[in-house]
Homo-oligomer: A and B are copies of this chain.
Amino acid sequence: MRDLFQQELREVQDQLVSIAELVASSITDAVEAFNKSDVTLAESVIARDNQIDDAVVQLDEQAITILARQSPVAKDLRIVVSALRISSSLERMGDMAEHLAQLARYRFPEKVVPKTIRPTFKEMGSLDIGMANMLVELLRNGDTDLAQKIRDEDDKVDALHLSVFETVLSDTWSQETETTVDATLASRYLERFADHAVSIAKKMVYLATGEWNPQTGAIQL
C-alpha cells in the first residue's frame, strides 16, 4: 500500500515534468513564431494548447484521487496540493504562449512588432524560454538553486517589460495604433509567463523547505 502510494506520488511528479516540457516547447515555438512571423509554427502552438489543457485535467484528477484514497498528511499532502497549484500555473503559462502565437498568426505575413523594438521582445522571449527550461529541471530534480535563478530572470523580464512601455510612450514611437495594442499585449503575455514561472518556483522552495514568506506573494503553497 505504502509502495503504491509512493509510486502514485512519483507519477504525479512525472506528469508535472511532462506538462512543463510541453509548456517549454510551446513558449519556444511561440517566441520563434512571433520573432520570425512563422504561421505554421504559430498554429502548432495553438494546437498544442489543447494537449496541455488535457494533461492538466488528467493530472488534477489523479491528484484528487490520491487525496481521496490515500489521505496523505505532512510532506506527502504538501506534494499533492502543490501539484494541483503548479498544474494550474503551467496551464496559464501554456495560455500565454498560445496568446503570443495567436498574435503572430493574426499579423502574418507581417511581423507583430516593428524593427526598433524587436530586440527587446527577442530578449524577453529568450528569458521566458530559459525560465521554462529551468522549470522543467526544477520540477525534475528539485534543485532549489534554480528557483533563485528563475526569480533573477524574472527581474530582467520585468525591466524589459517596463522598457517596452517607455519605448511605446516615447516621442520617437510613430506606429499604427494596432502595433501599439499588439506590443502592449505581447509584452504583458511575456511578463505574465515569467510571473507564473516564479510562482511555481516559490512553491517548489516551499515544498523543499516547508518554509515560506507570506510577504513575497499571496499563495505560496
* Residues of A near any B CB (own CB < 8 A): 52-54, 56-57, 60, 64, 67-68, 71, 73-74, 77-78, 81, 84-85, 87-88, 91, 165, 168-169, 173, 177-178, 180-181, 184-185, 188, 214, 218-221
Contacts and interface: CB of A to CB of B under 8 A. Distances in A.
Contacts of A57: 214, 218-220
- Which of A53, A173, A188, A219 gathers the greatest number of chain B CB atoms within 10 Å? A219
B184 A181 contact: yes
A168 B53 CA distance: 32
Interface centre among A88, A177, A220 (most CB of B within 10 A): A177
A67 B63 CA distance: 13
Q: Rank and list the top 3 A-B pairs by shortest CB-CB distance, nearest first.
A: A71-B71, A53-B218, A180-B180
B67 A81 contact: yes
Contacts of A77: 64, 67-68
Contacts of A178: 169
A70 to B, nearest CB: 9
A62 to B, nearest CB: 12
Nearest to A221: B60
B181 A168 contact: yes
Contacts of A185: 184, 188
18 contacts: A57-B214, A57-B219, A57-B220, A60-B221, A67-B67, A67-B81, A68-B74, A71-B73, A84-B84, A84-B85, A85-B88, A88-B88, A88-B219, A91-B219, A169-B177, A173-B177, A180-B180, A184-B184
